[in-house]
Amino acid sequence: HVQLVESGGGSVQAGGSLRLSCVASRVTHDIHSGYCMGWFRQAPGKEREGVAAIDSDGSTGYADSVNGRFTISRDNAKNTVYLEMNSLEPEDNAMYYCAADDWASVIAGVVPGVADFRHWGQGTQVTVS
C-alpha cells in the first residue's frame, strides 16, 4: 500500500509563495517508472478539486485557476513530488492533498479526476490572508 506524506503548508500573505512536498513510500515500483502524481485541494464546504498532476513521462497538467502560478515537479531519486505555489491568493485557501496512481494519466494537459487516484496523503493546510 503506497504511503504519501505531504509537508510545506502554512500561512502566508496574499502574493506570497509556498512549496509543498510529497514523499511516497511503500511503492511497488519507483515513481519514475509508472506513477502519475497529483495535487488536489479542498476548501471547507467545497468538493475536492484537481490542482496539478505530473505523469511518469513528465507530462504536466494544471487547473485553469492555478496555471501560470503553480508548478509541479518531481524528483524520481527521492520519490518526491513538489508543488511550487507563487502569487498566492485568498482563493487558494484549502487543505492540499497529494495523490498517486499507476493507472492515472495526464492527457492533453488535463488533471485526472479524484476517482482516478487510489492513494492519498493526509493533507497539508495552506492559508492565505
pLDDT (tens digit, 9 = 90+) per residue, 69-100? 999 999 988 889 999 999 999 999 999 999 99
Q: Are 53 and 41 in contact (CB under 8 A)?
A: no
What cell was used for 126?
A: 495552506
**Selection from 15, 110, 7, 4 nearest residue 54 by Cα:** 110
pLDDT at 8 over 80: yes
Check residue 53 and give its pLDDT: 98
3-state DSSP call for residue 115?
A: helix
Give residue 57's Cα distance to chain centre. Answer: 16
- Say yes or no to pLDDT of 30 above 60: no
CA separation for the pair 28, 16 (Å, rounded): 37
Closest CA to 40 of 92, 114, 128: 114
